[in-house]
Amino acid sequence: MVEHLALWLVTDWVRQLAPLFSDVQGVQVLAPQEAAAAAADHDPPRWVVHWSRRVPGPLPGQPLNSPAGVALLGDSRRVKERLALNGLAVFSPGESRGREEGAVIYRVGVFDLQVYGVQRAGPRSSRVRDGRPLAWRRWERITGTALRALHCLGLDSAVVSLAVDGEAARDPAVAGIRLGPMLGRQGAAKLKELLAQRVSGQDRAGSIRLGADPEFMLRHRDSGRMVAASHFFSRYGAVGCDTQSGAGPGEYPVGELRPNARSHPDGLLREIRRCLALAARQGAAGDLEWLAGAQPFNGYPTGGHIHFSGVALSGSLLRALDTYLAVPVFMLEPQEAAAARRRRHGFLGDVRLKRHGGFEYRTLPSWLVDPALTRGVLHLAWLVARGHRRLSLHLFQDPALQAAFYRGDQAPFRDRLGVIWDDLARLPDFQSSRRALAPLQAMTAAGLPWDDGRDFRARWRLPGAAALPAGAAPLRTARSRWRQSAGA
């Protein structure tokens, strides 16, 4: 007889795993047939971790690993197609990936998109402890790739194997995904800690802080040519420059704002204004235009990455960010630019874990095109982070919608915008953000894309920009249409 517990681990390896988790209160390890019988006779658990592909029928509780994702793992062709759709390479045994001695394999243990261990296997087997002796950037890329791979397949808790070409850790390839825990003393201890936090509720959001590093680029007004941001800005500081994969050696074409994190989106907006004012003093040449959006120049996308701390990354949160944040922003992008950017950047569920314990959400394009939209995006990110457990619409469980997102096709999402905004309006914090969200809601409702071809300094009232021409105010038009449709 199985008593009511908060979390079930459903696995084919009960005899091996039950002793390992016996000291974690509120957690029960069950075989698939035991779970099915217990579901019929007892109160359901709150969460079920599917670590078996042969679960007979639906189980109660919130699944950590969707049944569809578990079933998908049984079809290697479809797994490869889904990974490729999301910009992830697949590594096959025997491939050397261009190195005579072969690729290095890393195994990443993940529970509800929390990384609890990384192990290295071959050519010399050695355990890696929380990113050491791995360099931080390599650890960041490896874990980010593992999380994105699970997320696009509808999985939250598994072990991901990744192949890396020696020291060149830019593009890890997915070598395998195994349902179950990653064993080893350190990994098991961290996993048990995560399970205990989930059962006790200690993983819930505390005081959320938002940060960001939105990017922009410079264009010569007369010639239309790109001007490297490094001509005006240093590599580091509140305003800096950065390179991209398509840039030449020593080239830093992209400008980047690095505002201080704040606990409220309006505080972060003030920080962004401060950084823009500083940037204007450093690079306000009269013959330049400042551009943001999806891709100001061919092959040079710009991002609007948002940093979160004080809230744990989880499958629930990442699915909510993709649906309730990325979709409204996607509806504002010019479709051709959106599709071009996502050939290399802006994938669904694209996150990087940060040293301070938070994470960076990297799916969005640069939202610096207009201060009203910037404020709306920051409020929307804050709202979703605080209320994600109340948001149940997860559009990208459907691979057809994943494909539409990557090709820039907004049509399948138009009918779903009303549900998105209705769900958000039911969140307890919505009223405090309602005015900030109004321009964003108005433009998505009116179907008007933002204008990413004009110097955004004019909208921010920064020096050095030409005045906005008549008719260059789509927000005003959108607000008017939205108020009419709403009967305001």
The residue extents of the domains of the chain are: 7-64, 87-200, 281-486
pLDDT score for 251:
76
Using the CB atoms, write b or e for 389-410: b if 16+ within 10 Å: eebeebbbeebebbebbbebeb
Query: Does the pLDDT at position 332 exceed 90?
Result: yes
At 441, list the tokens. 């809601």
pLDDT category at 469 given cuts 50, 70, 90 is: low
Distance CA 393, CA 384 (A): 12
Q: Evaluate whether 45 touches 60 at the Cβ level (below 8 Å).
A: yes
Half-sphere exposure of 42 (CA within 13 A, CB side): 17
Which range has the worst mean pLDDT, 86-95, 109-118, 130-139, 456-465?
130-139
pLDDT score for 311:
93
For residue 314, what are the CA distances in angstroms to 40, 111, 142, 198, 212?
Answer: 29, 9, 17, 11, 20
What's the one-letter identity of residue 291? Answer: L
Which stretches within 182-314 are classed as H helix? 185-200, 265-283
Distance CA 149, CA 465 (A): 42
Helix (H, G, I), strand (E, B) or coil at 404: helix
Distance CA 343, CA 308 (A): 25
Q: Evaluate whether 135 touches 49 at the Cβ level (below 8 Å).
A: no
pLDDT category at 246 given cuts 50, 70, 90 is: low
pLDDT digits over 349-375, tens only? 999 998 878 999 999 999 999 999 999
The dotted CATH code for 87-200 is 3.30.470.20
Distance CA 321, CA 210 (A): 14
Beta bridge partners of 216: 255
Query: Does the pLDDT at position 483 exceed 80?
Result: no
